[in-house]
């Protein structure tokens, strides 16, 4: 049952990426038939059935952009918005039709409310920006009370980004989110670089990452995404450990740690000194990490890092991602994610594909590449 290679190559194979996770989902949902939300999610997958034969379909056919991330989490399209850049989904309501997005990852949520880091919290840098928000949020209970009913009314799945200081924190937050209508999944943020104990300690060590993933896995049946940190020497053992611990999908990457210097040059600019770098500047790093991760795990990988146009999306699909998250670019262009959905559909249509699966993994090597990480040279 376990697919050796998750990705689709251009050598004429079938849609293994989706097939493996679809099979996995069916098994899961058979085992857990009690939850109504899962059943409805299964219904949503039915249109996808035609995919296996869809590759030869001509341009006239409808393009199906849906993607199954496992455990019943089916996104209507692979363009998501990244945690921290889209609030709780309601903020951009005036200018964006959120229901046309593939998924929303909400602001990092912790057990108790957090006031976050001192200001300044953002700084623009060449081709990107630094942020050190510091996980400001009202706490999981307030988030549920305030937004869950809104999310429930949306077609777009809302994935709650969860952060914590300890394994117990993560487990408790996830337990409270479990079973809440409107919460479609969990994105485990074990990689926030801006908080002393923001979970980054979990992301830089394979055992710790596996430990927290496994603990959360035991606590919930919600689809579980785990967000990887680029601030490590070699991502692959960590990605493998998280996948083996029961994550349904991986998100790569979180921000890179960096600093900026203030106007008077007497001290670093950000109130927190360190911030996380995002934006087009980090796209090559994100591509590299997605490329590496996709070769070692069999679960879906969601790419994030510097996406500003459809070419960036196709680049990430080519190195094996099955979905992407748009983040920093939303600040300049709030309508970008929705436009990318249309442009991806257009790309499929002009290629004569019934889904975007043929774009996935085309740039991956035929056999696992030699170690691309040579140790400390990647250390930030």
Partner 1 sequence: MHLLGTELLEAREILPGQWLQTYHAPELATGSRAGQFVHVRTGDLSGLVLRRPFSIHTLDAATGTITIHFRTVGRGTEWFTHLRPGDNVDMLGPLGRPFEVDPRSQHLLLIAGGLGMAGVRALADEAIRAGRQVTLLFGAASARDVYPTSLLPDEVEYVVATDDGSMGHHGFVTDLLPRYEAWADQAFACGPEPMLQALARLAATRRSRMGVAKLGRKRGAGKGHAVGSPLARRKAFLQVSMEQRMGCAIGACLGCVVMATSGVPQRVCREGPVFASEEIDWEGAWGR
The rounded Cα 140 to chain-centroid distance in angstroms is 20
- The overall longest dimension of the chain from CA atoms, in Å, is 63
The strand pair at 256-258 and 275-278 is best described as antiparallel
Query: Which stretch in 64-72, 112-120, 160-168, 292-300 sits in contact with partner 1 by CB under 8 A?
Result: 112-120
Kindly state whether residue 214 participates in binding partner 1, applying the rule CB under 8 A.
no
DSSP secondary structure letter of residue 192:
B
Kindly state whether residue 267 participates in binding partner 1, applying the rule CB under 8 A.
no
What's the sign of the alpha-carbon dihedral 317, 351, 21, 2? negative
Among 56, 115, 264, 350, binds partner 1 (CB under 8 A): 115
Among 12, 36, 126, 153, binds partner 1 (CB under 8 A): 126
Q: Angle at which helices 310-318 and 283-296 pack, to 10 degrees?
A: 30
Among 35, 44, 55, 127, binds partner 1 (CB under 8 A): 127
* Alpha carbon distance 254, 209 (integer Å): 15
State the Cα angle at 283 between 257 and 328, rounded to 5°: 70
Kindly state whether residue 139 participates in binding partner 1, applying the rule CB under 8 A.
no
Closest CB 139 distance from partner 1, rounded Å? 11
* Residue 88 vs 359, nearer CB to partner 1: 88
Query: Which stretch in 22-30, 107-115, 158-166, 365-373 sits in contact with partner 1 by CB under 8 A?
Result: 107-115
Kindly state whether residue 279 participates in binding partner 1, applying the rule CB under 8 A.
yes
State the Cα angle at 72 between 69 and 73, rounded to 5°: 45
The interface with partner 1 within residues 323-362 (CB under 8 A) comprises: 328-335
Kindly state whether residue 84 participates in binding partner 1, applying the rule CB under 8 A.
yes
Give the DSSP per-residue string, 251-281.
Answer: EE--PEEE--B-TTSSSBSSTTS-EEEESGG
Of these residues, 105, 106, 192, 348, which one is catalytic?
Answer: 192
Q: CA dihedral defined by 151, 157, 158, 161, rounded to 10 degrees?
A: 160
Give me the helices (H) in the chain, please: 16-31, 36-45, 51-54, 140-152, 167-177, 200-203, 206-219, 236-244, 283-296, 310-318, 329-332, 336-351
Closest CB 261 distance from partner 1, rounded Å? 14
Closest CB 320 distance from partner 1, rounded Å? 26
Closest CB 108 distance from partner 1, rounded Å? 10
Number of residues that bind partner 1 (CB under 8 A): 37
192 given a catalytic annotation? yes
Among 105, 133, 177, 319, binds partner 1 (CB under 8 A): 133
What does the binding site for partner 1 look like in residue numbers (CB under 8 A)? Answer: 84-87, 91-92, 94-95, 107, 113, 115-116, 118-124, 126-129, 131, 133, 136, 271, 279-280, 328-335
Q: What residues are annotated to the active site? A: 192
């Amino acid at each position: 049952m376990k697919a050796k290679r998750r990705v689709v190559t251009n050598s004429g194979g079938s849609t293994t990426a989706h097939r493996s996770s679809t099979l996995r989902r069916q098994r899961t949902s058979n085992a857990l038939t009690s939850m109504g939300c899962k059943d409805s999610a299964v219904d949503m997958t039915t249109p996808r059935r035609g995919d296996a034969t869809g590759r030869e379909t001509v341009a006239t056919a409808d393009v199906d952009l849906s993607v199954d991330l496992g455990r019943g989490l089916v996104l209507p399209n692979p363009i998501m918005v990244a945690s921290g850049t889209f609030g709780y989904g309601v903020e951009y309501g005036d200018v964006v039709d959120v229901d046309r997005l593939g998924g929303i990852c909400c602001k990092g949520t912790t057990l108790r409310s957090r006031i976050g880091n001192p200001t300044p919290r953002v700084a623009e840098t060449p081709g990107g920006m630094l942020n050190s928000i510091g996980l400001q949020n009202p706490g999981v209970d307030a988030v549920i009370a305030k937004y869950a009913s809104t999310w429930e009314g949306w077609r777009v799945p809302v994935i709650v980004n969860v952060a914590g200081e300890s394994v117990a924190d993560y487990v408790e937050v996830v337990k409270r989110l479990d079973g809440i209508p409107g919460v479609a999944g969990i994105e485990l943020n074990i990689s926030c670089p801006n908080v002393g104990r923001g979970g980054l300690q979990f992301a830089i060590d394979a055992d710790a990452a596996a430990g927290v993933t496994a603990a959360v896995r035991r606590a919930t049946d919600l689809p579980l995404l785990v967000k990887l940190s680029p601030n490590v020497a070699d991502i692959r053992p960590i990605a493998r450990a998280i996948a083996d611990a029961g994550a349904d999908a991986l998100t790569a990457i979180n921000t890179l740690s960096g600093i900026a210097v203030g106007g008077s040059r007497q001290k670093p600019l950000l109130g927190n000194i360190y911030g996380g770098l995002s934006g087009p500047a980090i796209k090559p790093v994100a591509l590299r990490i997605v490329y590496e991760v996709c070769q070692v795990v069999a679960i879906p990988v969601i790419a994030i890092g510097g996406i500003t146009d459809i070419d960036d999306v196709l680049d990430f699909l080519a190195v094996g991602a099955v979905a992407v998250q748009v983040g920093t670019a939303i600040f300049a262009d709030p309508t970008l994610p929705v436009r990318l959905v249309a442009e991806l559909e257009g790309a499929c249509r002009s290629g004569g594909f019934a889904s975007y699966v043929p774009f996935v993994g085309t740039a991956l090597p035929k056999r696992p590449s030699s170690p691309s990480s040579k140790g400390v040279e990647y250390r930030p």
